[in-house]
Amino acid sequence: MSDEKIDSVISENRVKLHVFEPSQRKIWTVVGKEKEYWLDPEADFCSCASYYFGKMEGKGDCYHLKSVRLAQKENKAEIIKFSDDEFVDFIASLAMDF
């Protein structure tokens, strides 16, 4: 897994931080080639298949998680604001993608 992959995710603004107001609830996603992945960097979770299988095989984090961590550190995520009313619909639309 190359760092260029992570760099391109960052430089193409594919790390999104969805902030729900007024609760300040945060949802991280990374836009991949075919779908958008849902991540929780605090819980060390990504919804992609390579994360799932990587964990089972004892490999490290997927490049989505690494990208989110880097974006957090360097303040490079694209921040998108929502209202709390939209939270349920937002989660439902992400869940449908899995």
* Omega within 30 of 0 (cis) for the link into 41: no
Among 14, 16, 64, 66, binds Zn ion (CB under 5 A): 64
Among 15, 48, 71, 77, binds Zn ion (CB under 5 A): 48
70 scored as a contact of Zn ion (CB under 5 A): no
16 scored as a contact of Zn ion (CB under 5 A): no
38 scored as a contact of Zn ion (CB under 5 A): no
Q: Indicate the residue among 20 and 67 with the shorter CB distance to Zn ion.
A: 67
Burial 73-95 (b: 16+ CB within 10 A, else e): eeebbeeeeeeeeeeeebeeebe
